[in-house]
Amino acid sequence: MCDNDELAALRKRVEELEAKAKPPEKKPFVPMTDEQWRDEMRALSERRMDFATPPSVVRDWAVLDDATVKGITLRDARAPTGPAGSAIPSSQPMSNVRTGGSPTPGWVDPIPLRPPAGIDLIDRAVNAALPHGPEWGKGKG
């Protein structure tokens, strides 16, 4: 009896899984009317216009000369993007805000050339391992 109940339960489970695995049936193609097509395209263009620059801003920018527009856009592009003057300090430093610095930004004093650290230890070890002493190979031969 137990085997028959188990077998029936497994068959039921397999049928459920097969029903889930079937892809949904496709809806039949229904052509749109011209009016429906125009409505859909108008809705798309209105959603796209949400991201457009308003005409009032375009008029305001049109009266400015190119140098002023360029200065404003460069200033805005270089402005810090984080919270300015927040009452709660952030634990993460802002990466694009400069603090203090040198009068010649980007300039670093050159580091003088010198042997790498620890090379004197290697030289002494090599000299000690030479069969003829440290003076060997210096032309005194």
Q: How many residues does the chain have?
A: 141
Domain boundaries, the chain: 36-76
Tokens, residue 107: 């300039």
**Dihedral of the CA atoms 120, 125, 128, 133 (nearest 10)?**
-50
CA distances from 122 to 98, 114, 119, 125 (A): 43, 15, 5, 5
What is the predicted pLDDT for the residue at 103? 64
Distance, C-alpha 88 to centroid of its chain: 26
Predicted confidence (pLDDT) per residue in 80-138, tens digit: 766 665 556 666 555 555 555 566 667 778 888 888 889 999 988 888 887 766 666 66
Residue 138 is encoded by which pair of tokens? Answer: 């210096």
Instruction: Tell me the whole-structure pTM to 2 decimals.
Output: 0.26
